[in-house]
Amino acid sequence: MATMKRSVVRPLAALLLAATLLAVAGCASGPKTGSARERIAATPALNLKSYRFDPKQPIAERIQKAPAFVLKFLQQTDGRDDYAAYELTDAEIALTIEYLDLLPAWFDAMLKERLVAIYFIENFTGAAMTHLVLDKADKVHAFIAINPAMLRTGLSEWMTSREASCFSGASTAAGAPAVFVDCGTSYKALLYALAHECSHVADYMYHYTPYTEPAIKELGLGVAETPFVKNIWLDYAKPEERADFPRRADITFYGTGGGPKIPFGSAADLYRGLSNSPFPSLYAAQNWAEDFAECFTWYFFTDRLDLPYKVGIRSGGTVEVEYEPIYWSRVVHRFPQLDPVVQDKRK
Ligand SMILES: [Zn+2]
């Protein structure tokens, strides 16, 4: 999620929720109403001056323990009281640095300029999220929050469970039909979190989409249509009719947004609709920010890291439905726009 592209993240919604929760809690630190600018000004976690930010600091040193004001913000945003700063072991820090080194080499300079920190948050909702942080000149920076379960869970395992969270009523009996996502067994889910979230940071900085979250537009920091969204998105979360498909608006993950709203029995129909769309995943079909992050991540994984990417439905050992979304014709059509972004793999 940058918020958030959270991978559960809805930035403006999150800000509004945070404001609402502040009001409910009777906390005096935030206004109940007001513009995005007023809400951000009242929230220390969203102001660069709250951090010790040094653009010369190596990215490896920005893997940090979350400060109390960030934890407070995340808990208010997600309506939780059990978040805690997770401290990585030396091996986990080494894995995080190893995975960051797999990203396109040009990400280094981009992240050094705009990424405030990477925090790991115990009990975090979903996989990860990215949130904007503004400096006094309105330059958009960001921090990334990651669920430490990503360090321990296999990539295919996590993506499968995320996909399953979109559907209700699936049988849990052994051998019963279930959705799957197969990206091989080489990596932990952390690789997905870093690729997806860092691409949100790139979007904040370079505007592949008009605005990564609606608050950016409200702040007057968005841009008009971009090539990436042209002919696909009419607005942030509204695709053009020819890009849309039945029940797209009911797609949710991790039990957020009132979900799951789609019965498992409709999964095959949903994937058929998705397979005729320009989106490489159900997650991408939510809004243009997630579309960019997913297009980047899956194209980078398949084209540069040579990972498999298959999505479908299996009953026991029998594959009932299987797709390779990165080869869908309308997804392939977007590769020329993605090539400059995923280029310059280090290895
Ligand atoms: Zn995201």
Burial of 175 (0-12, 13-18, 19+ CB in 10 A): exposed
- Ligand 1 centroid vs 240 CA: distance in angstroms? 21
As for how many domains the chain has, the answer is 2
- Ligand 1 centroid vs 288 CA: distance in angstroms? 10
Q: Does residue 171 form part of some domain?
A: yes
Q: Does residue 202 form part of some domain?
A: no
Distance in angstroms (rounded) separating the CA atoms of residues 181 and 265: 18
Indicate the length of the chain as a whole number.
Answer: 347
- Ligand 1 centroid vs 201 CA: distance in angstroms? 10
- Ligand 1 centroid vs 7 CA: distance in angstroms? 4
- Ligand 1 centroid vs 177 CA: distance in angstroms? 28
- Ligand 1 centroid vs 192 CA: distance in angstroms? 10
- Ligand 1 centroid vs 28 CA: distance in angstroms? 30
Residues 238 and 92 in one domain: no
- Ligand 1 centroid vs 196 CA: distance in angstroms? 6
Q: Which amino acid is at 245?
A: F
Last residue of one domain, picked from the residues 134, 153, 172: 153
Residues 163 and 83 in one domain: no
Residues 65 and 17 in one domain: yes
- Ligand 1 centroid vs 256 CA: distance in angstroms? 14
Residues 34 and 170 in one domain: no
Could you tell me which residues are beta bridge partners of residue 262? 167
- Ligand 1 centroid vs 317 CA: distance in angstroms? 31
Q: Could you report the per-residue pLDDT of 77-126, keeping only the tens digit for each?
A: 999 999 999 999 999 999 999 999 999 999 999 999 999 999 999 999 99
Q: Does residue 216 form part of some domain?
A: no
- Ligand 1 centroid vs 14 CA: distance in angstroms? 13
Residues 235 and 115 in one domain: no
Q: Does residue 103 form part of some domain?
A: yes
Q: Could you report the per-residue pLDDT of 140-178, keeping only the tens digit for each?
A: 999 999 999 999 999 999 999 999 999 999 999 999 999
- Ligand 1 centroid vs 318 CA: distance in angstroms? 31
> Which of 159, 100, 97 lies closest to 127, judged by CA?
159
Q: Do 121 and 66 touch, CB atoms closer than 8 A?
A: yes
Residues 254 and 303 in one domain: yes
Residues 244 and 232 in one domain: yes
Last residue of one domain, picked from the residues 109, 135, 153: 153
Cis ω for the linkage preceding 260 (within 30 of 0): yes
Q: Could you report the per-residue pLDDT of 9-68, keeping only the tens digit for each?
A: 434 344 334 433 333 333 333 344 689 999 999 999 999 999 999 999 999 999 999 999
Residues 247 and 110 in one domain: no
Residues 121 and 55 in one domain: yes
The encoded tokens of residue 190 equal: 């952390």
- Ligand 1 centroid vs 130 CA: distance in angstroms? 7
The encoded tokens of residue 145 equal: 């929050």
- Ligand 1 centroid vs 186 CA: distance in angstroms? 22
Q: Does residue 200 form part of some domain?
A: no
Q: How many CB atoms lie within 10 A of CB 180?
A: 18
- Ligand 1 centroid vs 197 CA: distance in angstroms? 6
State the pairing for strand pair 140-146/238-239. Answer: unpaired
- Ligand 1 centroid vs 264 CA: distance in angstroms? 24
Q: Could you report the per-residue pLDDT of 273-321, keeping only the tens digit for each?
A: 999 999 999 999 999 999 999 999 999 999 999 999 999 999 998 999 9
- Ligand 1 centroid vs 42 CA: distance in angstroms? 25
Q: What pLDDT is attached to residue 343? A: 87
Q: What pLDDT is attached to residue 317? A: 87
- Ligand 1 centroid vs 205 CA: distance in angstroms? 15
Q: Which domain holds residue 57?
A: 1-153
- Ligand 1 centroid vs 316 CA: distance in angstroms? 31
